[in-house]
Structure 1
Amino acid sequence: MRKIDPQRSSGLIVKGKKIQIKHKDILGLILMFLGTFFFASKSIFIKLAYEEGANPEATLFFRQLIAAPLFILILWLYRPRYPKNTNKKDIVRASLCGLFGFFLSPLLDFLGLNSVSAIVERMLIVTYPIFVIIISSIIQKKMISYGNLITIVVIYFGIFMTIGGGDFSLLQANLKGSFLILLSSFVYAIYFIMSGNLVHKLGSVKLNAYGMITASFFMFLYLAYKKIAGYSLHLFGFSNTVYVMFILIAVISTVLSFVLITEGIKKIGAERAAIISMLGPILTILLGRLFLKEHLTVTQWCGCLIIFLAITSLELYNIRIKKNKNLINSKEG
């Protein structure tokens, strides 16, 4: 009897040729899509919590409170895959990454979401690659390429249209929240650059676990400062619906999305995973329309489209460049 290869599915006939599809590829695509979908739902859950009376500080506080122990558990489960000893300098660097990527960036994002729609937030937060380009050019003391410069200008024009364009009243209403979210995107770009080599040394699980622990520590310091300074803090006494949203934000949109995306990348590779992750803004738009009944003006929709197309073209270009470099390195090796 002929043995069936467990790594292959039934053949697919395309233009007379039989193409074998690996089961692990299908599973990887499903995991990556689900992870992207769950992450895209984050701003929806946050807005629903705000509608029920939650505030940004309480929402982020409970996200850290619930997610940090879960990341520690995941780190323990994944421990056989990573070296037991971790360099102290790497731990310090991971902690700094946590400060920028898991505390400051989300805090600014959550504060900004209090005054803009989930759709606008998502379109602004995905602009972090342009900040990566700008910061990297400053660090490396290199001029930004002509193509990247045009992309940056196009994206900024898209941002202007997304937050209101020529409608002064709409622009004024979105200005504060949009500024905070763009600042969040800038801070995330710093985290992205800092974590570049570190994620390869520690692994994404360790980096996220250390980062979330550090973020929780800084969250407590931030809340303590606000309390001592006399600012009003409302962290408890919400409805059951709000606490359900807090759990969904932490478990579904933070921890589960990370695990699914991590496993998806392992099965299909970073390049294909990056392409699937580009569906995130589209999914947020659909969810925002469905659950929040969000409406944008024609100008705002045009701005969203400009940002999406510009960022997508930039990411696809980077993927192609990376693929060509890997091909050259493999030939030289």
Structure 2
Amino acid sequence: MKESTHPYYGATLVLLSSIVFSSKAIMVKLAYVYHVDAANLIALRMAFALPFFVALGWWAARQGSPATLTIQDWSWLVLLAVIGGYGSMWLNFEGLRFVSAGLERVILFLYPSLVVVMSAIFLKHRITRREWFAMTVSYAGVVLVVWHDIELSGLHSSETMYGAGLVLLSAVVYAGYLLGCGQFIPKLGATRFTALTMSIAAFASACQFGISGSTKEIMALPHQVYALAMLMAIVATVLPAILMNIGIHQLGSRKASLISAIGPVSTILLAYLFLGEQLSWIQGAGTVLVMMGVVAVSMDATTPSKVTEADV
């Protein structure tokens, strides 16, 4: 991709995208104060975001020739959106019930290294020395941050481990989703692919709510939950996606991914400001190690998938 003559403009957009996306975990934790469950919160988030994704898909369809997808393509696309899009989202939201926002973001940022591992297993890509280094320091960083949260939680450490496991599984599922993206983005384009998969994920969310949820229950939620869900949809879902896409167009995916590594730091700072979560040198050291791993993977020319913020 040709680099822009306005690098600071693109860098600012990517930085803003990473920071506003980081607010998602904060909003989820604030919403949980009102005893809403993960399925209902995701249903509200996706309901508010769906009109924007439909509009994005309509706009993308008008910009280029329509893509031709076979029935098999559509089947895989739906499976990818339901499992990789909605499934990873639900695991992430449910995990946030038991872990701090800072820990959630640090674990989720393992997905670049997970993409490398999956590419080696399923696509027979060779793992380079830089990638081995990246994975080693990243997982060491996660161990430190998990240790920090277990020390804080004391008797509730089993819940911390359970929540961390859910978030890690979310990162694994999302890494698989990214691997599958490579089969469809060349056919559909990144914008149209995002609009389609997120719209399908919203439908999956509605289906789960229809099976297990209660309209009476969701209509009786405090108005603060609706406000947080709307902010989550616009500020932490649609806005960062737009800013990141423009930023990638300006800078290219590799430089954008390096800047987006600020994500865990901004989440930890926002959690400190809005949730009162503690800061410690252990947490800081672990976060730095994970960011080093992300930067190392992003700088490797052989990395099979561009590294950007996860939409989970």
CA, structure 1 residues 238+148, in 2 after alignment: closer, same or farther (shift >3 Å)?
same
Aligned-partner residue type, residue 263 of structure 1: I
Paired residues of 1:103 and 1:215 also in contact (CA < 8 A): yes
Contact 1:55 1:234 in 2 (8 A): no
4+ aligned runs moved over 6 Å, structure 1: none
Q: How many percent of aligned residue pairs carry the same amino acid? A: 28
Alignment of 1:256-295 (within 5 A): 256-295=239-278
Structure 2 vs 1, CA of residues 104 and 313 (structure 1 numbering), >3 Å: closer, same or farther? same
The two structures have a TM-score, normalised by structure 2, of 0.85
Correspondence 1:219 to 2:205: yes
1:269 partner letter: G
Residue 283 of structure 1 and its aligned partner are, at CA, apart by 1.5
Gaps of 5+ in 2: 304-312
AA aligned to 1:55 is D
In structure 1, distance between residues paired with 2:249 and 2:273: 32
Match of 2:27 in 1: 45
Determine if contact 1:35/1:261 at 8 Å carries over to the other structure: yes
From 178, 184, 189, the equivalent of 2:170 is: 184
Question: How is 1:316-327 mapped onto 2 (pairs within 5 angstroms)?
Answer: 316=299, 318=300, 320-321=301-302
In the TM superposition, residue 157 of structure 1 has moved relative to its aligned partner by 2.6
For 2:28 and 2:218, the matched residues in 1 are separated by: 15
Is the counterpart of residue 255 in structure 1 residue 238 in structure 2?
A: yes
| Residue equivalent to 2:103 | 120
TM-score under structure 1 normalisation? 0.80
Task: State the one-letter code of the partner of 1:223.
Answer: F
For 2:14 and 2:126, the matched residues in 1 are separated by: 35
Q: Distance in 2 between matches of 1:99 and 1:108?
A: 12
Q: CA deviation at 1:141?
A: 4.4
CA distance in structure 2 between the aligned counterparts of 1:45 and 1:56, rounded to whole angstroms: 12
**Structure 1 residues 205 and 276: alpha-carbon distance in aligned structure 2, compared to 1, 3 A threshold:** same
Q: How does 1:65-214 map to 2 (within 5 A)?
A: 65-88=47-70, 89-141=72-124, 144-164=127-147, 167=151, 169=155, 171-214=157-200
CA contact (8 A) 1:163 1:171 kept: no
| C-alpha displacement of 1:224 | 3.9
Q: Deviations over 1:277-329 (max 9, x none)?
A: 1122222122111111211444333222222222222222x2x457xxxxxxx
Look up the match of 2:15: 33
Q: Bigger relative contact order, structure 1 or 2, given CA contacts below 8 A and separation 6+?
A: 2
Whichever residue aligns with residue 105 of structure 1, its letter is: S
Deviates more, 1:286-295 or 1:117-126: 286-295
| Larger gyration radius, structure 1 or structure 2 | 1
1:236 is aligned, of 178, 202, 219, to 219
- Local SS of the residue matching 1:211: helix
Deviation at 1:232, TM superposition (A): 12
Q: Deviations over 1:21-46 (max 9, x none)?
A: 94x44432332222222211111111
Cα deviations by residue, 1:68-104 (Å, 9 ceiling, x for unpaired): 2210111112333222243234443332221233200
**Which stretch of structure 1 is more off in the superposition, 177-186 or 144-153?**
144-153
Answer yes or no: is the 8 Å Cα contact 1:99–1:214 preserved in 2. Answer: yes
* 1:196 counterpart SS class: helix
Measured after TM superposition, the shift of residue 253 of structure 1 is 0.8
